[in-house]
Structures are given as structure tokens and as C-alpha cells.
Structure 1
Amino acid sequence: MPRTLRLAVSINSLFLFSVFFVFSASLQAQSSSWNQSTLKEDRALFSEHFTPAEFAERRDKVYEAIGEESIAILQGAPSPEGYLDFRQNNEFYYLSGIESPDAFLILNGQTREATVYLYNRKERREYGEGKILSFEDAELVTELSGIENVGSYSDLMTDLESLNQSAEITTIYTPHSPYEEVAMTRSMANRHIEDMKANPLDTRLPRHQNFIQEIQEAAPNLEIEDLDSVIDELRKIKSVKELELIRRSTRLQAEVIIESMKSTEPGVKPYELEAVSKYIYWKHNIQDDAYYPLIHVGPDAYMNHYHNSERTAKAGDMILMDYGAYDRYYSSDLGRMWPVNGTFNPVQRELYSFYLKFYEAILYHIKLGLTPQQVMQNALKEIDVILEEHKFSKPLYRNAAEQFVAGYHERAKDPDMRLGHGVGMSVHDVGDYAVPIEPGMVFVIEPQFRVPEERIYIRLEDMIIATEDGVEIYSDFLPRDIESIEKLVREDGLLQKNPISIDN
């Protein structure tokens, strides 16, 4: 063999040996390690969706609203009671992005600087449950959040005492409404407080009221004012980044409803469709729902917020699903109805088609710059024609439809009427929606048609997003028409493709 050829073979052999050695070493390293994942915890300590600049912009708007002689102070959510994930309350998260329990936030209108107060590190808890931002992480907190100052609990009391003695500060703004949390709207929180007050053996103050009382005692020289209206109006107009989360939540909820339609067949129970929903949520890293699932079979729908049904669906029943995903503090809210056996019977077709025409007449009259009253007055011109031309099989049904339409004529006389409710950080979001529609608003409509004598109930719900380009019915892709719904219900869904049966 020529010398050059022998040299080439030797070099090639050496190269192959090196590759084999590296590959073998890699296999050996992999086989001798307990885990291959990084030792560093992957969970983010601060929002990866919103930038610190966006939170700072929100705080700047608060400074402008309260003025130079005022401060705003907010209390964060407490540590969860039990083995539950922590979720910050909406108001606190909206202005800070901080997700540490038992935190406080002061916004100083004079200096236009924010201070967040965190508890001292709980090393044993972090050792077992993972890192949570604490006072000892002051530099990291400022780096991640853009909040200028970080203090401890003792600093909070010192700062309040100093502000109380300040000649420049006269007023403290703080929320006067109960705090919103996951699945806890303001109206639901107020209902809970009413139940507390009705209990003769429960004399506790609600948490937000106790906080106001503590502030008054800590800073008696300062006036206390309500911050709710300031935050509510800010939250009403969503940013581009907020709309991204709302759109994602809406798309996921639409997929939940589509898959639930496909999984429906005679014999299905509401909790089985809830299981389908939860699978899709968790598959996409959504571990919370915006509210408990409203999955109604047959006459259960007549109780529009009934949520304990175990009724078995029968051929000839209608199913109502009203549900919403909760994606990183932002909600969706969608509603659809469909027949259990995949075919609308004559009565279902008759009443549903009337309702659908009524519903879409409102939906497609929603325009930028119009007030809800103007939208409704315009829609009613079309609705009156729909009512006149629609054929009803019973006088009972026509009478119900006439009363339904008459109710909206009466509502349209009120300049403060609303089309539905806002959706955002809360599924029934805060803010005044009896105003001209402007970019950044997100809301739903959900007219409720009833025939009490036969416990018939119909409701649909869609997500409506107002942008600079106009009004977008964002959930329009989720079928409402009879033919498309029937086609979906006749397809196999998750429950049919993955049958699991355990004998009782």
C-alpha cells in the first residue's frame, strides 16, 4: 500500500475512533446521570409576556390621576390556605406584575416612584416549593419589574409614618371594592361579603375594609380616597399585549366548545364535557378557568348559572356550554348551544333560528363610536322585521318572542344601558361600558330568551374586541349556524376516541 494511502487510512481511522470515543463518552455520561435536565429552575419569576415598561406606563397614569399631593397604596393577595397555587389579585398585578404573596405597593404621586414591600425570605418554604421573590431579592426585583424601590414590612410602617407627617402629602388612594382574584369577580366578592354580614356569628371585616381601617390608624393625618374608578377606567382599555392573551384565551375556549360538541352523544354527562375542557386547558398550560363551568343539559339551562348538574343527556335534549379559559390573568367568555343527538328537532330549529337572527342583528350593528343605546336602537329596526316575518308553531312561542323584543325596546330607552359586560382580567370586567365604543374595549353580549311555561332557555355569547380598525367579533369562527353545529356534533370527539370505563 502506498505511503500516502496508508497515511489517509490512518487519519480516517483516527477520526472514526475519535467520533466513537466522544459518542461513547456521551452515552456513558447520559447513562451515569440521574437527570439530564438543567439544575436551574425553569419557572419565571416575573411576567414573560408584559414588559416592565408596560407596568410602568400604567403606574404613570395613576400618578397623573391622583396628583402630586397623593399616594396610592395597594395590598396584594395573601398566601393561599392549603395546597393551592398562589394567584395575585388583579389590581395589584395590573400595576406591578409582582406575584409574591402578602405584598404591598405604594405609588408616590410627588416623586412618581413606586415601592413594593415584600416579606423576608422563607428559606425552608423555598427549599420545598421553589423560589419566590422576597425583600432579600431587592436588586433582582427592580431589575425584573422596573419598580424603583423595594422595602420590607418594617420599612412599610416607617414609610407610612413618614408620609403621615409630610406637609406635601394630603391623601391616600386605595381600592374600596373587594379584591378580584381568579374566578372572583367584583360582584361575586360583594355577594360573599353580603353572606358574611348575614351570618350573626361572623363579625370579621372583609379584607379590603380591614386594610382601609389599618391605613387610617397608621396615617390618621391623611384623607382616604377610593382608587377604584382610576384603575377601572385604565383596565377598560386593553393594550396590544393584553389583547394577545385575551385572543389566546378565546381561541382555546372555542376549541373547548368545538371538542365538547364532537364529544356529545346520548348518555354523556356534564362532568364528562368538563373533563374534555380541562384536558384542553392543561394541554396548553392553562391551569385555571375564569369561572366554574356552566354545562347545562335540557331544562337545567333555565337556571342560567346552575353548575351542579349530573343529568344524563338524552336524545332530544339541548346542551348549553358557557365557559371561559383564564390565561395569565386574562379571561374569555363564550357560550353555545347544540342538540345532543346532532339534529335540531322542529321546535329547537324554530326557536333557535329566531334567537340567532335576533342575536346577530345586535352583533353586527356594533360599531366604533356608537353607544350601546344607539347600537340597540339600530338593531331593533331589523329585529322588528325578523319578529314579524318569523313563523311560530304556537301562540305561546310568539308571545314569548314578542315579550323578549319588547323588553329590549324598553331597555333601548335608557341612555345608560349596556349591551353586555366587559371581559378582561375579570370575566365580568370593571369599567363603565355605557359609553361610546372605543378601541381597546372587550365585551360580550348574551341575550337570554325564555319560554317559562316549557322551561325553554336560549343563550349565546361571543367575544367582541374593538380595535383601531373597527369592531371585531373575535369568536365569529366558532359556529353558531344550525348546519355547522349539527355537522360538528355528528363527528367523534375525545370521549369517543379515548373511551375509558371503570365499573362502579
Structure 2
Amino acid sequence: MLSPLASPLRLADVGARCTSAGSYQIRSRFENANRRLSVGLAGWGREGEDESVVGGVERAAPGAGCRRDARMKKADERFFQKYFPPQEFAARRQRLLDEVGPAADVLLRGRSETCGPRFLQSKVFFYFSGIEIPGALLLISGPERKTTLYLAHRDPERHPEETGLGVEDAEEIKAATGVDEVCDRALLTERLRTVRTLYVQDAEDELPCRTRFEAAAVAQRRAADPWDGRPSDTQHFISLLKSRHSHIEIRGLTPIVSEMRRVKSAREIEMLRRAGYLAALATTEAMRMTKPGLLERQLAAVASYIYLTHGAAGEGYPQIVAAGRNMQFGHYSRNDARLIEGDIVLMDSAPDYGYYTSDIGRIWPVNGTYAPWQRELYGFITAYHKTLLGLLKPGAMAEDVVQEAAQIMAGVVRKTRFSKAIYRQAAERVLQSKHPLSHPVGLSVHDGSPYRHKPLEPGVVLSVDPMLSVPEEELYIRCEDTVLITADGIENFTAAAPLEPEAIEAAMKEAGRFPLYDTALAWDAGRRP
């Protein structure tokens, strides 16, 4: 297997060429250097580049009439994504128009300016545009079959690096993104007076580290709070549209978008493949670093370091590092408990890689060796997991795969001498669960792209996550991988992380790469860690 921090899988140079008209044209090509992973974006495609290309932006020929200064070139690089060519977003918009019909329009609202360290766009807006400019609105016209991006003006008192591009940059934005027009946001109200049927996003907004399902739950709690009561951003946006344009029939876009996202494109698959490998890389390194006395969050920090140094924006969802009794809480993310000799630890962590993520789960012993009861339970759930993986194939219904796997594992349960009756009962219960084939994975870890209602087909990406619960002992045993349905079976995106007990124990004997200290003991001893 490739050494974890080895040389990269190269996303090739995705640059911007300044033309004589002063506009930018995106060049995009993907190169796979034997699937080696070094996805740090700062160095994409630098080896053997043409000398006329500097920093991903090709130098203009003398007299080319380039209107923009060096400061604005840097702003362009920040606000134009580098993962997909504009043609892919244009194709998605055209397919969307085919779904809504020639008499309807679609209005998508991007994320507003935030005060965080980096602006990250809402997932649906990114899916159809790739545009990472705050405060953007996208009108996709069915009658005209064209796309108009509405932007605010740049703040003359602030640097573009702080605010993003504005309507002043229309020509550059059109060339780089493939939209047909870029207009002042102030013109949108007048344009909507001609619209009769308008599709909008009616599900809660997906953001980094937040699925639409989590956002909906938060919005419901906030609305029910007698000391808050605010509507969600999505509800507020729809209310504004209704109050300002009562003549428009507003329809929900969610079912159409969910179906479009169900089958991933080739480039989406490559993003998910890289996210899955990074998740496996981080999980394996966390295994190596584990020892009694550390805090859960120190293992999370190992994963974060690997994500950030390999081109990811951070975590794709709140990391779960749950040791001991904390494992019983399905989405525990406090990560502040200490690892204790004799306990086991569950880790579930994946990156945000170009807005795409993955999902993985492994359980390992804090001291590096499974106790007999730990091996018994985790060994059973990994056997069930591998049985499910072996049955996945195109054309199969998820429900049928689960039934067949349960029948196979029922025979294993009958032949196994469990050390406790409650362990046998837990094994029998897990085979009654209808969802060991879990959620779809894509732009969100619980992606809004359901797959169970149709036969599996190439391009579907889902998590396989059987879970065994022993409530009498506060145990929650699971293992998880993210897999792609292919033409002849599956590709396991997270397979690089050890799965079975023996392989995990062997990995834990390897030296870790980072110095992790028992900080509490160090401070108590009156010295710096």
C-alpha cells in the first residue's frame, strides 16, 4: 500500500488564461499519477509546466489588452473553484431545465457573507454553479434556457480578497463559470415580474459540516423556542418571494435535485475517491497515535492535520472520537474524554474535499490489543460488514442485499459460542435492522440523494454501516465504509484503513508521525508538554 504521506495524486493544473478581451477561460484536465495522493492544491501541476504559466494563470501575450491588475488575479483564483470545468455545471443546469419544463424558472440563493476564516458556499448552489462568491443569486430561465448570475457591487473600501468579486467583474466571471449573464442584484426584482412559475430550494440549506436534515432539525427547534421563534433562512427567503411577488407560483426543487444527485458524475467520483482515501489515511494514523492518557480530541487533531495538509478545507462533518461509554451516543462529538487502558475507541471522521466528503468508522483498543470480548463483538460486526460488501452489485435492490446478508449471518450466529447471552441477543438484533446499507454520500455525509427506491446502478455512492448495540453494557459496535457501485460490483473508497482486528492491531504497532502528549500529566508535573 502507498505510504500515507507519499507523493500526490495530481489534479492537473486548472488555470485561467487571460485573453485579448480581458476575460478568463478555464482550462481543466485531470491527471492521475498512479492514484498517488498529494492533493495539496497550492502545488497542482507544477512539475513540467509551461514557463508561460505562473501560479495557474497563464501570462498574457504582449499587447493582449489585459485589464486587470495582479491584485485582482489573486482574487480570481480565490473565488473560482478548481475542481470542475464550467461545462459540467452548465450540463447540470440544462438537465434541471429539462426537469422543470420550458415554462418555469429556477432561482437559487447562495450563502451570504460570513465572518468565518473562509467562505464556503451552500452545497446546492455550488452543485449548479461552482461559484463561491458571497451573496450570489442564480436565475436559470426555462423559456430562454440561459443562466443569469446576480451579484452586488464590490465594496471600494475593502480588498477583493475580503469581499469576493462583484458585478464589475462580469466578463471574467462569465468566462470562468459559464453563466450567460452577470447582472446587478438590484435588477432581480424587475426581472422576477416576468416570471410565472418559479422553482426554489425548499429544503434547508446544506453547508459545510451541516446536512440538510440536521439543518431542518435545528430550524424546527429554533422556531419552537419561545425566546427565539425565527424562521429558517430558507423559509425566510420563500416568504420574501411570496410577499414581493404574489403573482408567482412557487414550487419546491428538492425532489428534482435529490434525484439528480443520486448518480455521481466521473469527476464527482474522483472527488469522493480522494475524500475517501484521506479519511482512511487519517483513521490509520489515528490508530498509530493511540495510547492511554490522550484526549479524544488529540486523535481528531491528527485527522484534521492530515486533511488540511492534503488539500482539504477541513472536516466534512463534526468528528466522532468516542472512547469507552461515549461510544453509545451515535453522533457524540465533544471529543474531550481521556483514553483509558482497556477501553476501545470509535472514530468516524472524513474531510471536506472540494465540497465533497466521505464516511468511515473503525473501532480499536486503546492499548493496542483487543480483549477477548472486544474481538468477539467487533469481529462479528466486521464479518457482517464484509458480507454486505460482497453482495453489493448493480441491479440489486438494497433491501434484497440486506435480507440475503442477514440470512448468511444468521447461520454464523447459530454456530458462534458467544461469551454472554446478551452478546448473542445483540447479534440477532443487528440482523433485523433494515439499514446496514446506510445513507448516500456526496456533497454531504448524509447526502440528499436517496437510493433505496431504485435498483443500485453505477455511480451511486453509499455507506455500509452495520451497528451492534449492547445497551446493558453501554456498547455500540460498528464499522463503516463508503463505496461506489460500479459496472461489476463496488469500489471501496475507504478500504485503505485496516478493518479486521488483526490488521488494526498490526497498524497500531507501527510508529506514528506526530508527537502527542498526555497534556494533563505534563502540566501537573510543572513542565510544559
TM-score (norm 1): 0.86
Cross-structure match for 1:46: 80
Matched-pair identity in %: 34
2:498 matched to which residue of 1? Answer: 479
Aligned residue number for residue 111 of structure 2:
77
**From 447, 458, 470, the counterpart of 1:451:** 470
* Structure 2 residue aligned with 1:399: 425
Cα deviation, residue 496, structure 1:
4.4
| CA offsets 1:304-363 (integer angstroms, 9 cap, x no match) | 211114222122110100111111110111110111111111111111111211221112
After the TM superposition, which residues 19-38 of structure 1 pair with which residues of structure 2 at under 5 Å, given as runs? none
Secondary structure of the structure 2 residue equivalent to 1:180: coil
Residue number among 131, 134, 147 corresponding to 1:101 in the alignment? 134
Task: Tell me the residue number matched to 1:35.
Answer: none
1:200 corresponding residue in structure 2: 226
**8 Å contact 2:205–2:212 — kept in the other structure?**
yes
Aligned-CA RMSD value:
1.9
Secondary structure of the 1:41 match is helix
Question: Are the equivalent residues in 2 in contact too, given 1:276–1:494 (CA < 8 A)?
Answer: no
> Residue 267 of structure 2 is aligned with which of 232, 241, 245?
241
Q: 2:365 — aligned with what? A: 339
Q: 1:365 Cα deviation (Å)?
A: 0.9
Structure with larger Rg: 1
Deviation, structure 1 residue 492: 2.1
Change in CA separation of 1:404 and 1:69 when aligned onto 2, cut-off 3 Å: same
Query: What 5-or-longer segments of structure 1 have no aligned partner?
Result: 1-37, 164-169, 412-416
Aligned partner letter, 1:228? T
Tell me, in whole angstroms, the C-alpha distance in 2 between the residues paired with 1:266 and 1:205: 46
Which residue type is aligned with residue 241 of structure 2? I
Q: Equivalent residue of 1:364, what SS?
A: helix
Distance 1:49 1:230 in 2: 24
Matched, 1:119 2:152: yes
Contact 1:357/1:386 (<8 A) preserved: no
1:354-391, CA deviations, whole angstroms, 9 ceiling, x for partnerless residues? Answer: 12112211121111111111111221221111111112
Residue matched to 1:231? 257
SS of the residue aligned with 2:222?
A: helix
SS in 2 for 1:125: coil
Deviation at 1:131, TM superposition (A): 6.5
SS at match of 2:406: helix
Unpaired runs of 5+ residues, structure 2, are 1-69
- Structure 2 distance, partners of 1:267, 1:204, is 43
Q: Once the two structures are superposed, what CA deviation does each residue of 1:244-276 show, in whole Å capped at 9, x if it has no partner?
A: 111111111111001000001111211111111
Q: What whole-Å deviation, never above 9, does each CA across 1:407-432 have from its counterpart, x for those lacking one? A: 23xx3xxxxx6820011001100122
Question: Do 1:266 and 1:341's aligned partners in 2 also have CA atoms closer than 8 Å?
Answer: yes
The 5-angstrom pairing of residues 129-208 of structure 1 reads 129-130=161-162, 132-163=164-195, 170-208=196-234
Give the AA of the match of 1:425: L
Q: Which amino acid aligns with 1:122?
A: D
**What is the match of residue 313 of structure 1?**
339
Structure 1 residues 78-102: Cα deviation after superposition (integer angstroms, max 9, x where no partner): 111x343111101111111111111
The aligned counterpart of 2:41 is: none
Please tell me the residue identity of whatever aligns with 2:214.
M
Separation in 1, partners of 2:116, 2:229: 27
2:381·2:479 contact (CA, 8 Å) conserved in 1? Answer: no
1:370 paired to 2:402:
no
- The answer (yes or no) to whether the contact 1:300–1:309 under 8 Å persists in 2 is no
Partner of 1:430: 448
- Measured after TM superposition, the shift of residue 469 of structure 1 is 4.2
CA-to-partner distance for each residue in 1:159-189, whole Å, 9 max, x for gaps? 01233xxxxxx31111111110101101110
- TM-score by length of structure 2 reads 0.82
CA shift at 1:499, angstroms?
9.3
1:478 and 1:364 map into 2 onto residues whose CA distance is 18
Say if 1:469 and 1:122 are closer, same or farther in 2 by CA, change over 3 A: farther
2:248 to 204, 222, 230: 222
Is 1:256 aligned to 2:282, yes or no? yes
Instruction: Tell me if the contact between 1:373 and 1:418 (Cα under 8 Å) persists in the aligned partners.
Output: no
Code of the residue aligned with 1:375 in structure 2: it is: V
Deviation, structure 1 residue 285: 2.6
Q: CA deviation at 1:242?
A: 0.8
Pairwise CA distance, 1:498:
8.8
Distance in 1, Cα, partners of 2:135 & 2:492 = 39
- Number of residue equivalences: 451
Matched, 1:467 2:486: yes
Q: Distance in 1 between matches of 2:332 and 2:300?
A: 14
Corresponding residue SS for 2:451:
coil
SS in 2 for 1:162: coil
Cα distance in 1 for partners of 2:446, 2:422 equals: 33
Report SS of the residue matched to 1:299.
helix
Q: 1:218 to 1:468 in 2, by over 3 A?
A: farther
Segment of structure 1 superposing worse, 351-360 or 425-434 = 351-360
CA distance in 2, matches of 1:149, 1:44: 21
- Is the Cα contact below 8 Å between 2:199 and 2:251 reproduced in 1? yes
CA contact 2:86–2:178 (8 Å) conserved in 1:
yes
Give distance in 1, aligned partners of 2:162 and 2:422: 62
String of CA shifts for 1:195-216, please: whole Å, max 9, x gaps: 1122112232211111112222
The structure with more helix, counted as a fraction of residues: 1
Q: Give the structure 2 partner of residue 419 of structure 1.
A: 437
Amino acid at match of 1:433: Y
In structure 2, the residue corresponding to 1:379 is in which secondary structure? helix
